[in-house]
Structure 1
Amino acid sequence: MRNSVSQLQRALDALVEQVDTPAPIVLVDVMQSNIDRMQGFAAQQNLAVRPHVKTHKCVEIGRRQVEAGAVGITAGNVGEAEVFAAAGFDDIFIAYPIWPAGTKGPRIRRLAETTRLRLGVDNFAAIDALADAMGDEAERLQVVIEIDCGARRSGAPPEVAGDLAVTARKRGLIPVGVFTYPGHGSSSRDARERAARDQDVALTTAVRSLSAVGISAEVVSAGSTPTVEFSTSSVITEIRPGEYVFNDLNNTRLDACTEDQIALFVAGTVVSDWIQDQCILDVGTKALGREGSLEIGYGAIPGTTAVLAKLNEYHGFLPLPAGGFRPGIGTVLPVVPNHVCPVVLNFEELIITDSTGTWLERWPIDARGFLN
């Protein structure tokens, strides 16, 4: 972490007496630059941006993304969609194969009454269940067929997309296209472009499958911050990046962002240093989640080679090389997470400042805790 060191530390030094640690600190100027950069990329490629709000779960950040030009938002579940719909967002895609059990059916029906709601589907049973849940309002709900492009997560085989779309149409739902998630592009730097190629092939096959049954793919939606740079095929109509708004260490390792494009870090305080080659920070799994490994660590201290080598629930173990960096008790340090999404889930608010640390706001993480 070289380029972002001065801005992180400058902001942290200015805030140290105003913030209780651990706390997520967002450099709003860096975040806004990330939002604008993605929008500019999409404009050059003639793509719509539909950012995934699961990364930030914050209404104010979603508003900034829409103000920058996003056509709407992507949510991960019904609860997230409800929070943003209540805040005035009226174009929402739940990019997940929802099973409308329990209260979800009526909740989806209410959402479809107030928003242009699109829902992911990848199987015939879910299509029937959604149609049953919508009843005589089925035509209010648009569905997007999820296909697998190699991530081996959810998603039907691409060649089945047309059959699923026909079934949805027969049940009164409105099939509008296809989407996929190239999650296997996060495994290495080289994997990013390969996964994007897999995505292109799968989406093209799925679009042809829809066309063969007389259904036009209005929406051809591609996902993932790591692969978005290569998601430029003419078949794609929209992109759904999420992590780009903050970025993290995983994305720097993949060359999907630079170090100075990381907008969020966790402020932690050194609380113990009895062991000569180690100190303890008040940043554990309750703050950072469990993303990491012995090989890469669990978060990095910018400007140093130090990484958290182990986490307990409330303890972060920071090895200290002999003769090098050694923070004293009470020192507040920035910790850059490996994966930013679990960090946001652990807090109720984001501490918002800029690279100078001259002002401070607190934005609620509005959709925190909405997991279904």
Structure 2
Amino acid sequence: MAIPLPDGLTTPALVVDPDVLDRNISRMAEASQARGFALRPHAKTHKCAQIAERQLRSGARGLSVATIGEAEAFARAGVDDLFIAYPVWLDAGKAQRLRRLADVVALRVGVESVEGAQRLGNAVRDSARAVEVLVEVDSGSRRTGVQPHAAGEVGKAAADVGLDVVGVFTFPGHGYGHDARARELAARDEERALDEAAQALRELGLGVRVISGGSTPTVGRWQPGTVDELRPGVYVFNDATQLAIGTCEVEDLALVAAATVISVPAPDRFVLDVGSKVLGSDRSSWVTGHGYLPRFPQGTITALWEHHAVVRLPEGVRGPRLGSLVAVVPNHVCTPVNLADELLVVRDREVIDRWQVTARGANT
């Protein structure tokens, strides 16, 4: 059973095993260093100052974040090197916030359009520090990012308004798949796209100091060469999706939602006091149901309400008693963390610390 739960725990709650967490952080840091990659982990997964400190202490060069709000939260916590890995579209309020951030931290921002680059340049023109820019490239996930050959146009627009264009980045969302082949192909797509995009910048006389890629599924598939920075996020905790696609094992799961059995309406069915307001509502094509149950790996969370999770068991599997504690591994760990006020740190069935979710709800 992942993370043995303390008796008498008030549920629902998110519980972290610090030893598994530290092992995950160390393993990623050591692997990146051994293969020559800088590590800039994505903090949108954990949103927690104590975990950020662990990552930085293990050699991360800085943090990646998804929003200005997350950057503000980590800057207040003392992190001074941040990359907003997102094509931020600035309104007047966001422009003011970004200027304040640029005055106090080393700041990078993603752009993926000429118009977005121009708005960013106008917003930070009078900042005390230069804002660095990375052009986002679509390497196959079909989300945001320009086609690689168009990176030069966006980079030139950014340079023309006084921004320091330092490189390119991408997100390989298509690297999620049931087998290693999908991850391998996505990693190769990243390398080709980033290489072409970097060359497009160089042809216009723009320096390329950073070529940034990576995700938890593809990070182990990178070949040293084109890419020099990785941005995995989920690896600190892992989740039911990572377990299902084979990028982690049960012993690598560092976070669970602790829940109490509140109803046992039938021998093959029980109900937990954890719902979408704790687990999130993410479904995954790789996971059956709404989460993974380490104690009942053949069980399925078949239905999820705001405060209820209904679990069905195969015939012959004995279920838990009314009032007992059950651990649930979320399908996608980033969402539950964003919904929580704190993480309970548990070792040997005792709560040894409580970590505030520093950037909780920092979604703008």
The two structures have a TM-score, normalised by structure 1, of 0.94
Task: Indicate the larger mover: 321-330 or 47-56.
Answer: 321-330
Give per-residue Cα distances to partners, 1:157-176, cap 9 Å, x unaligned.
11111222122111111000
Q: Which residue in 2 is equivalent to 1:370? A: 362
Does 2:84 align with 1:91? no
- In structure 2, distance between residues paired with 1:31 and 1:57: 14
- Out of 197, 201, 218, the residue aligned to residue 210 of structure 1 is 201
Does 2:113 align with 1:123? yes
Kindly indicate whether the alpha-carbon contact (under 8 Å) linking 1:78 and 1:108 is maintained by their aligned counterparts in 2: yes
Q: CA deviation at 1:135?
A: 2.7
- In structure 2, distance between residues paired with 1:197 and 1:138: 39
Q: Which residue in 1 is equivalent to 2:308? A: 315
Q: What SS does the aligned partner of 2:265 have?
A: coil
Q: Which residue in 2 is equivalent to 1:64? A: 54
Q: Which residue in 2 is equivalent to 1:338? A: 331
Kindly indicate whether the alpha-carbon contact (under 8 Å) linking 2:139 and 2:193 is maintained by their aligned counterparts in 1: yes
- Out of 210, 216, 219, the residue aligned to residue 219 of structure 1 is 210
The two structures have a TM-score, normalised by structure 2, of 0.96
Structure 2, unaligned runs of 5 or more: none
Task: Indicate the larger mover: 68-77 or 231-240.
Answer: 231-240
Does 2:7 align with 1:24? no
- In structure 1, distance between residues paired with 2:257 and 2:272: 11
Q: 1:56 to 1:293 in 2, by over 3 A?
A: closer
Query: Percent identity over the alignment?
Result: 41
Q: Which residue in 1 is equivalent to 2:295? A: 303
- In structure 1, distance between residues paired with 2:178 and 2:202: 34
- Out of 231, 244, 265, the residue aligned to residue 256 of structure 2 is 265
- In structure 1, distance between residues paired with 2:278 and 2:141: 28
Map residues 177-216 of structure 1 onto 2, 5 A cutoff: 177-189=167-179, 190-216=181-207
- In structure 2, distance between residues paired with 1:286 and 1:146: 32
- Out of 234, 247, 256, the residue aligned to residue 243 of structure 1 is 234
Structure 1, unaligned runs of 5 or more: none
Give per-residue Cα distances to partners, 1:312-367, cap 9 Å, x unaligned.
1111001133332211110101111111111111210000023x224521100010
Kindly indicate whether the alpha-carbon contact (under 8 Å) linking 1:59 and 1:87 is maintained by their aligned counterparts in 2: yes
Q: CA deviation at 1:293?
A: 5.9
- In structure 1, distance between residues paired with 2:102 and 2:71: 11
- In structure 2, distance between residues paired with 1:232 and 1:22: 42
Kindly indicate whether the alpha-carbon contact (under 8 Å) linking 2:170 and 2:194 is maintained by their aligned counterparts in 1: yes
- In structure 2, distance between residues paired with 1:122 and 1:357: 47
CA root-mean-square deviation: 1.5
- In structure 2, distance between residues paired with 1:233 and 1:87: 33
Give per-residue Cα distances to partners, 1:111-164, cap 9 Å, x unaligned.
111111000000000111111111333961111000000100000111111222
